[in-house]
Structure 1
């Protein structure tokens, strides 16, 4: 039973590390998306007065 518990704890630790890495990636992508969104809004505001 101790071996099984040790294996489960090890699996849990691996999964938590995987989750943390995925969260870090998501946080970076969210930051990038927000930066792009702000840049597009700013560009849109600057170009709004130009007639097509």
Structure 2
């Protein structure tokens, strides 16, 4: 059984791998989606300027 600690560690590893391949620009910003139990949150991120 996967514990919370292990799943969080795997999530961070996956996050680093994906962020290495994806980079948002001003012309084509990156979309970040967070799903909670009740809501869905989305951010548009420009990695060049470092703003959301």
Q: TM-score, normalised by structure 1?
A: 0.40
TM-score (norm 2): 0.40
Larger radius of gyration: 1
Which is richer in strand? 2
Name the structure, 1 or 2, with higher relative contact order (CA <8 Å, separation 6+): 2
Structure with greater helix percent: 1
